[in-house]
Amino acid sequence: MQIPEPTVTGTDPIPAPANPIPTPSATPPDVVRCAYLELVVTDLSASRAFYVDVLGLVVTEEDEHHISLRSFEEFIHHNLVLREGPVAAAAAFAYRVRTPEDLDRAVEFYTELGCRVERRPGGFTKGVGDSVRVEDPLGFPYEFFHDVEHVERLAWRYDLYTPGAIVRLDHFNQVTPDVPRAVKYMEDLGFRVTEDIQDEAGTTYAAWMRRKATVHDTAMTGGDGPRLHHIAFSTHEKHNIIAICDKLGALRMSDVIERGPGRHGVSNAFYLYLRDPDGHRVEIYTQDYYTGDPDNPVVTWDVHDNQRRDWWGNPVVPSWYTEASLVLDLDGNPQPVVARTDESEMEVTIGADGFSYTRKDDEQRGFKLGNTL
């Protein structure tokens, strides 16, 4: 039986950008992993109820304006900071770097790029030391840090576990108009592509990029941006995600489920997408695969393959393609959103003229018209 999808290659197959960001001569900081997201919410008590009471994230520290949260297997101070403010938005995508000297490298790297750079020896959030924040060339607020307060890792505290226990921060997903331009810049920063979505013309709709040895620490999704598409937390097993769905149903909160549960083609992971009280999107994620070998192959999916986003071919709701959270500059103001000019993944697959297929070139039964998805 011929199964032609997806395509596997030995190197990054994404076309070179038409308007690349220059590659700095400075050595980039050595990023270890995505570590935390600072998220601005408009009602701290409502957000606390969602992230703590419903999802079960652990409160490390809180006051009347901030809550620092972590997952069960985390030993650094937090994976998520909720900060109350007037506009719901992402304030910082934070990456841990390998050494304190990598903060100097971050300053040099982004200064050469002409980006706004701010460094605080005392950190920007409680529990994190010397840190560098930048407005990166794509308009995203990135943070780099090494020094951090250690807290109790709760991996062995099974008395505290719930059926839907969230154990790790896995990745961010960012929305940006020009995916090849974003990929080239992230490769200069030391990230590697693991998977991507393209069409026959080479238009790139999304790319998954990693530093740790999983499918991604962040993904670049084509769309109007810069915006935050979602933050993703991992569970150990599929049944943990199903337990979260059952809990939401029992609480009469099924309306917060935007998409899933299901299995992705891209990343091979089991997933669930939720929306918090401000509409920030949260993915619960499990069972992707190891990517740490130096010759790890790149997987390219056809944008019309209806199993790329959901392995079972289930529909992707339009809001998943169109809605995302604003991001802030270093002064706390929302960054302007720039429209994508390349083709839209939603329009080419589920728009009036779009299509998706199950079996390529099987015109009788192997495809679904876009408006039936």
Tens-digit pLDDT profile for residues 106-147: 999 999 999 999 999 999 999 999 999 999 999 999 999 999
373 — pLDDT class (breaks 50, 70, 90):
very low
Q: Is the pLDDT of residue 372 over 80?
A: no
pLDDT of amino acid 357: 86
| Residues of the chain above pLDDT 90, percent | 90
pLDDT in tens, 25-65: 999 999 999 999 999 999 999 999 999 999 999 999 999 99
What's the mean pLDDT in 249-257? 98
Query: Smallest Cα–Cα separation from 229: which of 201, 259, 252?
Result: 259
Q: Is the pLDDT of residue 244 over 90?
A: yes
What's the mean pLDDT in 272-301? 97
- Specify the pTM: 0.96
pLDDT of amino acid 327: 99
Better pLDDT: 371 or 11: 11
354 — pLDDT class (breaks 50, 70, 90):
confident
Q: Where are the beta strands (DSSP E) in 211-361?
A: 218-222, 227-234, 257-263, 270-275, 281-286, 298-302, 325-327, 355-357
Tell the residue number behind the tokens 């992993």, with chain if given.
33
Those residues whose C-beta lies under 8 Å from the C-beta of residue 11, and which sit 6 or more positions away, are 298
Those residues whose C-beta lies under 8 Å from the C-beta of residue 273, and which sit 6 or more positions away, are 230, 257, 258, 259, 260, 281, 282, 283, 320
pLDDT of amino acid 76: 98
Please give the distance of CA 231 from its chain centroid, rounded to a whole number. Answer: 5
Q: What's the mean pLDDT when you consider all of the chain?
A: 95
What's the mean pLDDT in 63-87? 98
3 — pLDDT class (breaks 50, 70, 90):
low
Better pLDDT: 306 or 350: 306
Q: Is the pLDDT of residue 370 over 80?
A: no
